Amino acid sequence: MQPPDRGMLPPDNNLSPTRIVLLYTGVGIMWILFSDAVLAAFVTNPDQLQNVAILKGVFFVIATAVLLYLLISHYVRQLRYSRETFHLAENEIQKLAYYDRETGLPNHNLLLDRLNQVIAFNSRKRKNTAVIYISLTGFKAVVDACGHSGGGQAVCAIAERLVSTLRQYDTVARIHRDEFVLVLGGTVLEGDIALILNKLQAVFAEPLRLGTDEAVIQACFGVACFPADGMTSELLLQNAHIAMNQARQHGAVFQYYSEALNQKAVERLSIETGLLRALEEGEFHLNYQPKMDINGRDITGMEALVRWQRPGQGGIPPDSFIPVAEENGLIMRLGTYVLKEACRQNKAWQDAGLPKLRVAVNLSARQLRDHSFVPLVLQILEETGLEPCYLELELTESALMGDAGDTVCKLLRLKEAGISISVDDFGTGYSSLSYLKHLPIDTIKVDRSFVRDIVNDPDDAAIVDAIVAMAHSLKLNVIAEGVETRDQLEFLQQRKCQQAQGYYFARPLDPLQFEAFLAQGMPAGDLSVSTPDVSPAGGAPEPAPVRGVTPENAVGCGPAAVVNAECIGDIANQVLPAHPGDNLATVLKRFQGDSGLQVLPVVDDGHTVGIINRSTFLEDHVIGMNGFAFHINHAKKMRDLMQPLRLEFEARVTIRDAARTIQCRGIDVRVDNICVTRNGAYHGVVDVNRFISAITDINLTLAKGANPLTGLPGNESIQREINDRLLAGEDFDIAYIDIDNFKPFNDYYGFQKGDVVIKAIGEIISAAACTGDPLRCFCGHIGGDDFIVITGPHQAEQIASQIIAALEERLPLFHGEKDFSEACYSAINRKGELETFRLLSISIGIVNTRLTPVSSYAQLASISTEVKRAAKKLPGSSVVINRRLDETYPDVCLLGA
């Protein structure tokens, strides 16, 4: 804060009010006591005393006036000084609150205020505006080179350039040390944004003078537009920031916001917040993928792959959480867990008498940079008891190039201990031959992106040829990743590649499956993966392609319908899937080569990640709106072309349960887009014709015993459903539903209106059952006004409350507004007497077989009937639940009245 000028300085402390009052008091007392004596000594003439007395009074008045003037003047000056000081302080506070001290630009608070004004004005005028978020990507390098003073100088210079570049009604604010925000005022068109972005790029392309040096500070921009990308200032800033982050991650100069970017940010935040909890609660586990000798028979090792099984969300792909863990530092804890668990499991297998194999563990650049990494690895080996020769560490090229000197030292120490080192994803990073000569590595892993098309793509074939030849020259082992077909394996065998890894041999297996793989040469049970088989005669087995799907049996349209199909796996076509990294030419070739191929699943790491429909693909990506010429889109990948997978069934799911689920999902699901898995891995695609045929047979069977009024299964089907669940030892809820006051309703309103009610109740029950687990819900119509709903354990109570609520909504339609408003109606009963009846209601008795075990259909029917009778004794719609085992009467829960 600047000091006030000389004219506003505070009064001298020598003339303070206290001193003036004391001086005035002292002088007054002295004057009173001694003035007369002094005058008498000098004035002898009595006639002059009167005149002297007048002069004395005048002098006293003048002295008093002077002293009062000094006192008032002091207070005036003090007041003026305080007021000016207050204004200066107020201005300074406002400046600190609304302006950046270093650049003088508006800060975050003033930016929000001005942006709110722009939004309010544009909302009334129905105009557009835009927010541009600027991040100085080169700011850290300037601070490292010139210090914080140099960074501050650079920021001030950039602020001046931004202010001089923008229009008069635009606002530029600094909201962080290396981040600025521009708010475009006035009328903003799309062309204006492009023009401003070009100006901003020119601003940052011009060198800045920092002392005697010059520097160019790069920047990236995120753009969010009003009202398309947000209606509030906070939302616009958030979306512009998201766009800026995307531009920064992709190395682009600018990025416009889209909803997809926001969804990625939300998913990333969910993953980031869940990582630490997942580590603490043990949600991570390891799968193991075998490494095979190039002969396709001998197992030479395995790779440990971390997987995250998140409760309620299923498996999270590694490429979703690994980069997040890298950025927030949790990769250190996660990497330690993977390394320790892989060594422990490998040692346990060896102790159990299984073959001694080398386990490969992937490392991140952050782990390698840690000074305690080498001691940590040696400590884990000591704790688990695994010999170092059975551990292999895999590093990417980028991780190896971080700090060459430090990296070489650490790798040498690991090599001296007997640990193997391999370069993962070779050819996708620096691909520099010089570091291969200096680094102590043993193995090169050819990236799957080159292996995928080696048979059809001459460029990929040439690259793999060169990598294998170079590895042989440098006396390095070479292993090819992503081997999925016999042709790929034969190509690698001809080039004398030592090892191979991929779905052609096996997908990543959990420890039990891999243990069976090691012990028997095949996975335990039906894992739906292709694995080497051990021939009884000792002959060389023929490995099959991915998950039992071979080019010979992979079809586009299914064969003849399966007789007596019961499970969804019985009617699945084993279509050879595509990979997310395949390009447009690959999928076009598939559709052109097989006219019967209608749906192409996209599979990554054994899991279906998307679907490509023949009609949609050809229309949108070859001749349609996304490109009228093939050469425009030939570089697009499957991940850009595929549609999301809407529904997937495990092969053992019954066709009836699958149909029930599809019915509940409605138009959201196309049957020809439904995929089938076996033990979690891709197995095939549902054949529409066989599915319809199987459903038709099931419906014909059920129709024989279905209630003609509601179409719901009747007594025969209900009894069969209950017996099946009891035989399987499955816990379930059974809800016995009875309509109260239905007979007088029929008599008063007529049987035709009664039929309408029965049909409506059937629809209500079916709709409510679909809100639960559709695979475990069954609805039946016993007859008359009695219904049955069977659900999973502890689910019937919620469905019952939904049924009661739906009935309450329809009562005005059933009874009419007049009777509904009076909550009753009067009619002649069957005895010929006038009686008042209540409106329709529902009594529901629920039995939970987990809490009340039953052994037979008859026992369950008896218990549920008693519980339903208890519910009918309560007024209005009510639910009674048989909760406890040792009580004669069940607990009562009144849900509606």
Backbone angles phi, psi at 268, to 5 degrees: -65, -40
pLDDT at 536: 32
> Of 339, 524, 474, which Cα lies nearest the Cα of 414?
339
Distance CA 300, CA 422 (A): 15
DSSP helix/strand/coil, 635: coil
Report, as an integer, the average pLDDT of 698-714: 70
Backbone angles phi, psi at 635, to 5 degrees: -90, -5
pLDDT at 289: 92
Tokens found for residue 28 = 């007054």
> Of 801, 794, 758, which Cα lies nearest the Cα of 776?
794
Residue 550 pLDDT exceeds 60: no
Q: DSSP string covering 738-807, please?
A: EEETHHHHHHHH-HHHHHHHHHHHHHHHHHHHHTS-TTT-EEEEEETTEEEEEESTT-HHHHHHHHHHHH
User: Residue 70, Cα to own-chain centre: how many angstroms?
Assistant: 75
More confident residue, 188 or 822: 822
Please check whether residue 699 is in contact with residue 710, taking contact to mean a CB–CB distance below 8 angstroms.
no
pLDDT digits (tens, 9 = 90+) for 297-310: 888 999 999 999 88
CB burial of residue 477 (10 Å; 0-12, 13-18, 19+): middle
Band the pLDDT of 265: cuts 50, 70, 90.
Answer: low
Residue 173 pLDDT exceeds 80: yes
pLDDT digits (tens, 9 = 90+) for 279-301: 888 889 999 999 998 888 888 99
User: Residue 515, Cα to own-chain centre: how many angstroms?
Assistant: 34
Please check whether residue 617 is in contact with residue 578, taking contact to mean a CB–CB distance below 8 angstroms.
no
Backbone angles phi, psi at 232, to 5 degrees: -125, 160
More confident residue, 167 or 509: 509
> Of 861, 654, 846, which Cα lies nearest the Cα of 732?
846
Q: Kindly state the helix (H) or strand (E) to which residue 364 belongs, with its residue range.
A: none
DSSP helix/strand/coil, 578: strand
pLDDT at 251: 81
Report, as an integer, the average pLDDT of 236-249: 88
Record the pTM. Answer: 0.47
The packing angle between helices 688-703 and 655-665, to 10°, is 100
Distance CA 841, CA 806 (A): 11
Tokens found for residue 374 = 């080498």
Tokens 């309703």 — which residue?
A: 745
Backbone angles phi, psi at 290, to 5 degrees: -70, 150
Residues in a beta bridge with 650? 677
Report, as an integer, the average pLDDT of 734-761: 88
Distance CA 514, CA 349 (A): 10
Band the pLDDT of 789: cuts 50, 70, 90.
Answer: very high
How many other CB atoms are found less than 10 A from the CB of residue 195? Answer: 11
Region for residue 295 given its phi and psi (left: phi exceeds 0; alpha: psi -120 to 50; beta: otherwise): alpha
CA torsion 550-553-555-559 (nearest 10°) is: -160
Most confident segment among 5-9, 677-681, 747-751, 841-845:
841-845
pLDDT at 143: 79
pLDDT digits (tens, 9 = 90+) for 861-891: 888 888 988 888 888 888 888 864 434 434 4
pLDDT digits (tens, 9 = 90+) for 846-863: 999 888 888 888 888 888
Residues in a beta bridge with 309? 315
Q: Which of 388-392, 680-684, 688-692, 752-756 has the lowest mean pLDDT?
A: 688-692
Rg (CA), the chain: 42
Distance CA 589, CA 587 (A): 5
Distance CA 381, CA 373 (A): 13
Report, as an integer, the average pLDDT of 365-376: 88
pLDDT at 889: 39
pLDDT digits (tens, 9 = 90+) for 438-479: 678 888 888 888 888 888 888 888 888 888 888 888 888 999
Strands 171-176, 179-184: pairing is: antiparallel
Distance CA 549, CA 684 (A): 8
DSSP helix/strand/coil, 309: strand
Distance CA 366, CA 360 (A): 18
pLDDT at 875: 85
Over the range 520-556, which residues count as b (16 or more CB within 10 Å of their CB) and which as e? eebbeeebbbbbbeeeeeeeeeebbbbbbbeeeebbb
Residue 544 pLDDT exceeds 50: no
Band the pLDDT of 563: cuts 50, 70, 90.
Answer: very low
Distance CA 608, CA 647 (A): 10
pLDDT at 415: 87
Please check whether residue 24 is in contact with residue 34, taking contact to mean a CB–CB distance below 8 angstroms.
no
More confident residue, 30 or 785: 785
Band the pLDDT of 500: cuts 50, 70, 90.
Answer: very high
Q: Which of 9-23, 603-617, 650-664 has the lowest mean pLDDT?
A: 9-23
pLDDT digits (tens, 9 = 90+) for 585-598: 777 777 777 777 88
Report, as an integer, the average pLDDT of 415-431: 78
**pLDDT above 70 as % of the chain:** 81
Q: What is the mean pLDDT of the chain?
A: 78
CA dihedral sign of residues 335, 338, 341, 346: negative
More confident residue, 687 or 39: 687
Residue 514 pLDDT exceeds 50: yes
